[in-house]
Amino acid sequence: MKIIAMIPARYGASRFPGKLMQDLGGKPVIVRTYEAAKATNLFDEVYIVTDSEVIFSEIELHGGKAIMSKKDHDCGSDRIAEAVEDMDVDIVVNVQGDEPFTSKEGLEQVLSVFEGDDADKIDLASLMTEMHDWKEISDPNSVKVIVNKDNFALYFSRSPIPYPRDKNADVQYYKHKGIYAFRKQALMDFYRLPMKTLEAAEKIECIRYLEYGKNIKMAISNTQGIEIDTPEDLIRANKALKEDNVVSVNNKFRNFPMVPKVVFGQGCFDQLSSILAPQRRNKAPFIFLVDDVFENKTEFIDRINLRFNDKLLFVSAKEEPKTSQVDLIVKNIKAEFNYKPSGIIGIGGGSILDLAKAVSIMLTNKGSAADYQGWDLVKNKAVYHVGIPTISGTGAEVSRTTVLSGPERKLGINSDFTPFDQVILDPELTVGVPKNQWFYTGMDCFIHCVESLNGTFLNAFSQSYGEKAYDLCKEIFLSDTLTEEDSRGKLMMASWHGGMSIAYSQVGIAHAMSYGLSYVLGTKHGIGNCIVFDHLEDYYPEGVALFKEMVGKYQIEIPQGICKECSDKEIEIMIDIALSLVPLWENALGENWETIMTREKLKGMYLKM
Ligand code: NAD
Ligand code: ZN
């Protein structure tokens, strides 16, 4: 079923002219609405349909899709009907342009009616919300609706319906919310049908459907949005947005979970069986995702101690994890076992740890991993998951994210459910790591510290972890006093502390630019960071000087000129990807970063690499 959202956007509004172009937290109201609809992930496409060139170009400017409606229309649904006439779609949802806080829950409710037993009787669906205050019930500006036992609409009115002749009767009043989900056919049937008397009298558009015999199924949604109808609403919305930001990405206070259980030390890997035993649920297996470098190391594999129907999956870390890869692993696990696994155990570098986190999330959450790339989109708790790093530096073992390349973006699933329930830190597991790889992954940690310690988001929490990790890195990579064994243990802890440091701050320029390289050229995280960092002496002079010293000491050859062969288009995409990582730039360069890091400047930097 193809489902699209259409947002009718008329420039002139009688009560508050130009309201859709008013500023709401730095963006026009209509852009906010568009982004909110898109962020629900419920739609195959989202369009604005408008009569205004100003709105049209604003949406295009923000990378959205807009359609100019050619004709004059007296109502939103006619405007939508004109736009979808030649489109191949099944369900069209109209989202109100002036509802920038459109909630996913409401839209989900209105769409869910098409999954019920009576779905084929439904021409369109709409939402209603409970009303309790008589002042509101009697206010003609709020449209009331009454329904039959199956929640099909009987009538809409500005009068209180039903009329409470019996003051003691226990009736629930419902307010109609102007969100509709139409079958395309119903929408087209309705297009250009003349208005009849009931609609003309009440001035309520959806009455026309009832007058022509269509069935409207109502769903209940009690979440309150803020409609922007007046300048006062706009002030309220701006305030709400500020409050909202408190719980969003680069907020001042973060309330984040830390890994609740961790065991450390040479040989502690052998604790695994006894750690897992209490977590085992009857016939539900443990699934081990293991880096395929261990595939032929039978001695190591035997130490995993598989029981019953436990399953070992060797996974290649040759490429960085993808959402499609996560989806496939989850699909296979679901196909093979009737039971949700007792747990997912990731054994490997950052790539395998991230895969393990993502798989554990996707076993309890519907859809594709790509639907959850972003901040706090995960709904259900993941299955129990354990991380066992075999190479150190990324901090993936402590972090609240799992970095994935998806069809549209490279972005982590950042959520409270992402961190491991248990981590096993056994430095001995890192013995076989090749020198170059050891260096690149170790430098990921060093760069985390430099970017965190030099960032504008820095605070004492972040600093205390960052400074420790920074000193450990200097000791590991520049002093000659450590035994190999000590060095391995210390790098494992540096990785941990580096990860904790960025948990309460953010990374910076090297990471932003390295994401661009990775997206376009497939450059891996560790080496990509090194390639970029090598050229960042203007931004991180002390860190880059130390880095160059380390590179010299271990005779690492950092690849040069990797962007030379890139087409203009590829460079543009790199720039897009890098610049989209707003919090990273804000951390690195402060609030006015956009005036410092222009596209032109970034292009020059890429071309040097
Ligand atoms: P990796 O997992 O990609 O592994 C790199 C190479 O080392 C692979 O070839 C792997 O087979 C090999 N390897 C791993 N352990 C080994 C061992 N003991 N002996 C020999 N070879 C071994 O490398 P990485 O640098 O740890 O991880 C990079 C990934 O981590 C990227 O995908 C990046 O996006 C992700 N990352 C995630 C976070 C996070 O917070 N979630 C942070 C930083 C990076
Ligand atoms: Zn990193």
- Give the single-character DSSP code of 378: -
What lines the ligand 1 site, CB under 6 Å? 291, 293, 317, 320-321, 348-352, 354, 390-391, 394-396, 399, 401-403, 429-430, 432-433, 437, 441, 444, 524-526
C-alpha span between 72 and 51 (Å, rounded):
8
The mean pLDDT value for 65-69 works out to: 91
Q: Measured from the CA of 352, which atom of ligand 1 is nearest?
A: 2
- Helix, strand or coil for residue 385? strand
Distance 251 CA to ligand 1 centre (A): 29
Distances (CA, A) of 287 to 273, 352, 354, 361: 13, 13, 15, 14
φ/ψ region of 450 (left if φ > 0, alpha if ψ in -120 to 50, else beta) reads: alpha
194 has a pLDDT exceeding 70: yes
Burial profile 298-313: b = 16 or more Cβ within 10 angstroms, e = fewer: eebbeebeeeeebebe
For 543-568, write each residue's pLDDT tens digit. 999 999 999 999 999 999 999 999 99
Residue 250's pLDDT is 47
Q: What is the DSSP string of 47-111?
A: EEEES-HHHHHHHHHTT--EEE--S--SSHHHHHHHHHTTS--SEEEE--TT-TT--HHHHHHHH
What's the confidence (pLDDT) of residue 272?
97
Each residue of 69-79: b (16+ CB within 10 Å) or e?
beeebeebbbb
Could you tell me the distance, in angstroms and rounded to a whole number, from the CA of residue 445 to the centre of ligand 2?
7
CB 385 within 8 A of CB 346: yes
Q: Whose CA is nearest to atom 40 of ligand 1?
A: 396
CA distance 497 to 259: 12
Long-range contacts of 56-60 (CB under 8 A, 24+ apart): 58/21, 58/28, 58/30, 58/31, 59/30, 59/31, 59/34
CA of 354 to the centre of ligand 1 (A): 9
Q: Residue 202 has what pLDDT?
A: 94
Give pLDDT, residue 247: 39
Question: 410 near 404, Cβ under 8 Å?
Answer: yes
Least confident interval from 221-230, 459-468, 496-505, 563-572: 221-230
Residues 6+ apart with CB under 8 A from 44: 2, 3, 4, 89
Q: Whose CA is nearest to atom 17 of ligand 1?
A: 433
- Please give the average per-residue pLDDT across 168-184, as a whole number: 89
Task: Note the maximum CA span of the chain.
Answer: 91
pLDDT beyond 80 at 450 = yes
The pairing of beta strand 91-94 with beta strand 3-9:
parallel
Asked which of 262-266, 352-356, 578-582 is least confident by mean pLDDT, the reply is 578-582
Consecutive H or E run containing 209? helix 207-211
pLDDT tens readout for residues 335-394: 999 889 999 999 999 999 999 999 999 999 988 999 898 888 888 899 999 999 999 999
Which pLDDT belongs to residue 13?
A: 67
Q: At 166, is the pLDDT very low, low, confident or very high (cuts 50, 70, 90)?
A: confident
Q: Please report which ligand is nearest the Cα atom of 396.
A: 1
Lowest mean pLDDT of 183-187, 404-408, 515-519, name the range.
Answer: 404-408
* Stretch among 10-19, 26-35, 433-442 having the lowest mean pLDDT: 10-19
Which atom of ligand 1 is closest in space to residue 349's alpha carbon?
Answer: 2
Q: Answer yes or no: is pLDDT of 224 > 70.
A: no
Q: Name the percent of the chain lying above pLDDT 70.
A: 97
Question: What's the whole-number mean pLDDT along residues 601-609?
Answer: 96
The dihedrals phi and psi of 195, each to the nearest 5 degrees, come to: -65, 140
What is the Å distance from ligand 1's center to 529 Cα?
13
What mean pLDDT comes out for the span 37-64? 90
Ligand 1 centroid to residue 472 C-alpha, Å: 20
Is the pLDDT confidence value at 248 over 70?
no
pLDDT band at 443 (very low <50, low <70, confident <90, very high): very high
Picking from 219-223, 363-367, 469-473, which range would have the lowest pLDDT averaged per residue?
A: 219-223
